[in-house]
Amino acid sequence: MKKFKQIVCMLGAISLAGIYLCTLFFSIVDHTQAKSWLSASLYATIAIPIFLYAFLLITRQLDNRTKKDHPESSK
């Protein structure tokens, strides 16, 4: 489970970096759809960390529940 959490967090960090670059690009570009792209990018900048935090909370609870059910596996 630890490797899975690390992979998800790395993908989240990479996607956030990409979204920050997209936000910067969309704020500079003068295109008819740039305003809606910028809004979507700013929304994702807020939503992705919230989803990652929720994922970490859920996996932490699942790990704790597994350790309580099987105490010998926590060694």
Give pLDDT tens digits for 3-50.
888 888 888 889 888 888 887 887 787 778 877 887 888 888 889 889
Question: Residue 72 above 70 pLDDT?
Answer: no
pTM (2 d.p.): 0.64
Q: Tell me, what's the pLDDT at 73?
A: 56
**Around Cβ 34, how many Cβ atoms within 10 Å?**
14
Are residues 19 and 51 in contact, defined by beta-carbon separation less than 8 angstroms?
no
Q: Which residues, in sequence order, are CB contacts of 3 under 8 Å at separation 6+? A: none
